[in-house]
Amino acid sequence: MTKLSVNINKIATIRNARGGNVPDVFKAALDCERYGAQGITVHPRPDERHIRYSDVREIRSALTTEFNIEGNPTGSFIALVSEVRPDQVTLVPDAHDAITSNCGWDTIKYRYFLSDICKTFSSKGIRTSIFIDPDPAMARGAALCGADRVELYTASYALQYPEDPAKAIEPYARTAAEAFECGLGVNAGHDLNLENLAYLVHNIPLLDEVSIGHALISDALYFGLKDTIGAYLAEIRKK
């Protein structure tokens, strides 16, 4: 079954807006696990505007499910991941001033750079996933880089889904099929929500995991964290 990894960045954003430790990011991570999430995702950025490096270190010691750290593999990021040794690292090419991730890697252009990063993390027993746009060539390139998985950047799927679900999913299904053919696992994330999640999972049946943050935490403002995680798990389990 596709796993749900909850991205807790937005919880840290709320905390940082006021100072102090409310809401408690550490407690929130453990609560997400307790309510059924099968993983926790964090995306620390150099300016620490949401998740801080200290959060990453604190959370790692207490989690019992999969821990996924995503981000641009700068020197400080590589050092943090190498120290913390999460279950998975997801390489994302976001600029330091990006509001949110907005594109996948060109795994052909950056093949040698990404290959070196994958080797570094693989030597430490960390599964490596590369964030890519829905393009089969990028999946093939990720395999040549030595990645274990790709994460499909689902922004365009989410944008097109309300008008034409079949058209929206088509490039993602093709890219996932190519990734599977290359021996890669497949994750997905960005702008997934309660409206478009089940269709994605149904049409990519071997999808390993989805990473969801913004929509899930926003829904939790209305429904509560426990019920919201339950609702997302129910969407994943729909046939």
- Cα 138 from Cα 175, distance rounded (Å): 8
Give the catalytic positions in this structure: 43, 70, 190
